[in-house]
Structure formats: C-alpha cells, structure tokens
A and B are shown apart, each in its own frame.
Chain A
Amino acid sequence: MIDFFWTSGHLGWGVFTLAAFTMLWILVLDVLWRVTRIRFVRLLAAMCVAWVSAGVVIVLVAGINAS
C-alpha cells in the first residue's frame, strides 16, 4: 500500500492519479453544469457515481501493480 502513496522518491502513481483525476472531474463538472440543461443535483449524482467508479478502478489497478 505504501506504493500507492509514495514510491521511489515521488508520489505514488495511485494517489497522484486519484488526486489529478478528482480535480479534473471538478473542472469537467463545472463545464458540464454550464453547457447542459440538466438539473444540478442529477448532474452531481451522476458525476459522483462516475467518480467513485473510476476511483475504485484506479485503486484496484494501483493495488494490482503494487502487488
């Protein structure tokens, strides 16, 4: 698990990918909220589901690589 947070003198790719992905997701959410007519709560729910799914994948991939 240490590889997830820190590895070989730099941030672990797991935590880096998760952090970068999360911030990108916020930027995408901002843009989508402005260009679509979907209700904000629905958009937020959909983005959260997608973010959790992608986060699980990232954690799993990082875990597989670490093992």
Chain B
Amino acid sequence: MAAVAARGGFGLGRPGWRARGDVVRTVFLARIRIISRYKGAIFMEALLPIVFAAMPVLLGTAFAGPNAAQNFQLNTGTANYKLYMLLGAATFTVVSLMLWLIGYWVRREQETGTLESLYLAPASRFWILTGVTSYAFVRAFSAFLIAIALGSVIFQVNPFENGVGVALLFLALGLLPLWGLAFMFGAFIMKIKEADSVIQVLQWVLAFLIGVFYPLSLLPPFMQTIAGLFPPTVMTDGIRAAILNIGYFYGTGGPYASLAVLFAMALVVPLLGYEVFEVTERRLRRKEGVGQY
C-alpha cells in the first residue's frame, strides 16, 4: 500500500484534467473576488479609454477647426475621428490591462512572499497562469465593452455600422498572441522586478506602436515595420478598419492578409511566451529563487 502511494503520490501530485480545471477556476474566482472589492477600479478602467480618446479629439478639433473631419479623412480614410479614437483607446485598454494585470500579479506575489509558495504546490504553473490570464481577459474585455458602450453615448457615434463580426474576429484572434505577450511580460517582471515603472513605460511604448491616436502611415517607414510585427498593432488596426471601413495595414484586398498574419501570430506567440516564462523561471530558481524582490 505504502509502495503504491509512494509511486503514485497522494493524488495531488499528478492532477488530472478535472483538478487542472479546478486550479484555473479557483485562481480565476480568487482574482475576481479580490477585484470585486474595488469597484472604483472597474469604473476607472472603463472611463480611461473615453478620457484618452477625448484628448486628441479636442486637441485636433481645436486647431483644425471646421476642417477637422476633412483633414482626418485625408490621413486615415474616415471622417469619423471620434469613433477612430474611441476604438483605438478601447483596444489599447485591453492590451494594456492584459499585460498590466499579469505583470502586477507576478510582482504582487513576489512582494507578498507567496510566489515561492506557489512553486511548492503540486499544481502546474501553466494552469495557475491560465487562471490569472483568464481573469485578466474577462476584466479587460468588460472594460472594453463598457468603454465602447459609454463612449458611443458620450461621443454620439455608432460602433455597429460596419463589420462588427470581422472586428470581433480580430479581437478574438488578437487575444491569443496577447496571452503569449503577457507570459513574456510576466517573465520580464519576475526577472527585473521593478513592475510599476516598466509597466508604465511599456504602456506608452505600446500606445505609440499600436497607433492609438493616429494611422501607422504617419510613422517613419522603419517604425511602421516594427509596429507591424507587433500583434496588438494588427489587432487594433483590424478592429478599426473593419468597423470604420478603411484600409488594413496588411494587404489591400480586405481583411484576409491581416487576419492571416494575426492567425500566424496567434499560433507562434503563446508558445513562445510560455517558453520564455519557463526559461526565465528555471534560471531564477537556479540562482536567487523566484521569491526575491
């Protein structure tokens, strides 16, 4: 009996699919329970894209005056600059929140001293991270939906005029590479520690590369190339192009080329992200340990 137990463990040692599902669910629920205590955070996340979108709209219209819509159309292909900014800002919130929440989770666990304890648990980190990223996804997507709904009322724009289905496809596909990027980001935070400052600066790097407030064609050619290799850029561009009926970053014949690129990214980036996370984690465990902060 003892030999059987020693060989097979006590059940927890080799969790089956049900136990893995339980790990994801428990982590997810724990995070949701924590955030539900801070309703202000959810409100702010929804408000943020609207404020972000309002600033360039007000700046642009103040200087371009009655020609604002006409000039904007010349540069972007649509005169609906309010919806353009709102979509950009709302998608940016999704990207930023996904990375922010994972980065902060790693850092918080490090600071509170529970990250190392997680490594003693028989649950695989993959499933714990899946729970955290699922929570991040739900929170980010909720913020996106509220921001679009509220922003549409405030800016008096209709986001359902064109291509909502294609836009949702871009969003769904784009979340997969974002998941991978979140893993990479978590690994990076684990390594360098200073989460706050890194997240903040990266947030603006992202906003710059994504082209939250402007078309990528305004960037210098080499910057356009870099931005195009970045999955959130393709996602944001796709969502905006589908809803506003404007040109896509990749290809001229509709959304297919951009979708294909995003699909390829969706295959590669999550695997790459998790690999990076594992390698970083292994190295840290060999050296100072993951709990040091």
> Are A and B a genuine interacting pair, yes or no?
no
A: residues with CB less than 8 A from B are none
